[in-house]
Amino acid sequence: MTAPINFSAESLAQEAMAAQNKLRAGLDTLREVGDIDYGATEREEVWRDGKVVLYRFRGDKAPTAKVPLLIAYALVNRPYMVDLQADKSIVRGLLERGQDVYILDWGYPDRSDRYLELEDYIQRFLGGAVDHLRREYRMDSVNLLGICQGGAFSLCYSALNPGKVRNLITMVTPVDFHTSDNMLSNWTRGLDIDQFVDTLGNVPADVMNWCYLTLKPWRLFVQKYVGLIDILDDKRALEDFLRMEKWIFDSPDQAGEAFRQFIKQFYQGNGFVNGGIDIGGRAVDLGYVQMPVLNIYAEQDHLVPPAASKALADLVGTQDYSELSFKGGHIGIYVSGRAQREVPGAIHDWLSERSR
CB neighbourhood size of 199 (10 A): 9
Closest CA to 255 of 117, 351, 70, 162: 117
Residues 81, 148, 208, 277: which is the catalytic one? 148
Classify residue 112 by its DSSP letter. G
Task: Report whether 246 contacts 84 (CB < 8 A).
Answer: no
Query: Is 148 among the residues known to form the active site?
Result: yes
Query: What gap in Å lies between CA 344 and CA 356, rounded to an integer?
Result: 19
Q: What string of DSSP letters covers 62-90?
A: ----SS-EEEE--SSS-GGGGEEETTEEH
List CB contacts of 37: < 8 A, sequence separation 6 or more.
243
Query: What gap in Å lies between CA 252 and CA 106, rounded to an integer?
Result: 9
CB neighbourhood size of 59 (10 A): 18
What angle in degrees, to the nearest 10, is found between the helix axes of 235-249 and 9-32? 70
Task: Report whether 65 contacts 351 (CB < 8 A).
Answer: yes
Give the CA count within 13 Å in the CB-facing half-sphere of 128: 16
Instruction: Sort strands 293-298 and 321-326 into parallel, antiparallel or unpaired.
Output: parallel
C-alpha torsion sign, points 273, 278, 283, 286: negative
Closest CA to 354 of 319, 302, 313: 319
Q: Enumerate the active-site residues.
A: 148
